[in-house]
Structure 1
Amino acid sequence: MTWPTTVDEAIALQEKLRYLVVTTTDPDLDVRVVAGLDVGYAADDRLAAVVVVLDATTLEPLDEVVVHGTTDFPYVPGLFAFREMPSLMTALGKLAVTPDLLVCDGQGVAHPRRFGLACHLGVETGIPSIGVAKSPMVSFAPPGDARGSHTDLVMDDDVVGRALRTQSGVKPVFVSVGHKIDLDRACAEVLRLAPRYRLPETTRQADQLTRLSLRDPTEHP
């Protein structure tokens, strides 16, 4: 694929592809293998795109890929996908195991144009995808303190995601549909993937590998 090189081209592509997003779940979806995706940046503009694949039941790692690279696309809120997608797609193409679900460190439809990184990855790959962000792009009411409590994320009177408490008494994460999954199922999968910590294991393990690979690229060339 030829990726946009300007802000206007990127926005136009998001506006075009957003209508391909499916916000329902196939009744036959059985998530046995799940992938976490993350991109980290070094001070010298190097990036590391990481995909970690886990057994969805045991949360044991099954596969991992690290792709090192750089990006020329500008740092523009709402367009981070165009900095990260090329390297993430390369990493996904190197997996030896095909995931049933992608869990992205970023937004899905909880995005100004309803087409965040999780949507873009889902539409490009055809794999169900979820956005799990550490911070929201809209204001929200805090959910209750108990694990599983949630409140809606609303944009222009539309519910676009949830602030979800994955552990009692800790900050929520912000879940939104990426592609081929509904919001209830997305939140259920995130809770299943976060039995002990705030972040789902997919995100935690991908983030750890990202930091390690940027600190010592020779470990993951």
Structure 2
Amino acid sequence: MHVEDAYAIADITFPYIPGLLSFREGPAIIKAIGNLNKKPDLILFDGQGIAHPSGMGIAAHIGVLLNIPSIGCAKSRLVGDYSGPGNRKGRKTELRYHHKIIGTVLRTRDNVKPLFISPGHLIDMKDSVEVVLKCIGKYRVPEPIRSADSLTGKLKKEMPY
């Protein structure tokens, strides 16, 4: 699996409002994706896909706008109910909202908090979970998301403000 790094610096013009992350961060994300050498085959987001009050979390929203397969991989739940997936790596359970399956609660390491996986665009639930599991290294969070977090941390330290 090849992951390319790219970033963009953009003014934030939309306030932080829970549930509307794509309106705040979306323009910079789209700009960063435009800086890639090649159109990505898939984008893995640190946020929600369809497991969102509106059914359109940041992964779904940006995936639709760019027509690129996308997956939401969140550390916390915005909506829905579930029963524990068990404490072993790979254990999973359905995340349901209004009697509909909107995501998968997935344990990516033994005895750690689960992640909340939901399709964003052009991918189904089963494949979303498989992709996330293939991206797990030594830590709870998939390596592409860890890599992006690391890059943004370094870039923030270099910013003059």
TM over 0.5: same fold? yes
Q: 2:40 and 2:8 mapped to 1: Cα distance?
A: 18
The equivalent residue for 1:199 is 141
**Deviation for aligned residue 1:214:** 0.6
Q: Letter of the 1:169 partner, please give it.
A: N
Contact persistence 2:85–2:105 (CA under 8 A): yes
SS of corresponding position for 1:66: coil
* Structure ranking higher on relative contact order (CA contacts 8 Å, 6+ apart): 1
Higher-strand-fraction structure: 1
Query: Shift of residue 97 of structure 1?
Result: 2.6
* Corresponding residue for residue 188 of structure 1: 130
Q: Select the residue among 179, 184, 189 that pairs with 2:121.
A: 179
- Residue 23 of structure 1 aligns with which residue? none
**1:196 Cα deviation from its structure 2 partner:** 2.0
Aligned to 1:119: 60
Q: Which amino acid aligns with 1:93?
A: G
Instruction: Name the counterpart of 2:35.
Output: 94
How many Å apart are 1:141 and its aligned residue? 2.1
* Paired residue type of 1:175: I
User: Is 1:160 aligned to 2:129, yes or no?
Assistant: no
Are 2:70 and 2:120, in contact at CA under 8 Å, matched by a contact in 1?
yes
Deviates further, 151-160 or 183-192? 151-160
In the TM superposition, residue 162 of structure 1 has moved relative to its aligned partner by 1.1
Unmatched runs of 5 consecutive residues or more in structure 2: none
Match of 1:80 in 2: 21
* Equivalent position amino acid for 1:84 in 2: E
Mean CA deviation greater in 67-76 or 90-99: 67-76
Distance 2:83 2:158 in 1: 40
Unmatched runs of 5 consecutive residues or more in structure 1: 1-31, 34-53, 55-62
What CA distance in whole angstroms lies between the structure 2 residues aligned with 1:121 and 1:80? Answer: 11
Q: Runs in 1 of length 4+ with deviation above 6 angstroms?
A: none
Partner of residue 129, structure 1: 70
Give me the TM-score of the superposition, normalised by structure 1.
0.69
Write the letter of the residue equivalent to 2:5. Answer: E
Q: Is the 8 A contact 2:7 2:35 kept in 1?
A: no
Moved more, 131-140 or 186-195: 131-140
- Distance in structure 1 (CA, Å) of the matches to 2:41 and 2:85: 29
% identical equivalent positions = 42
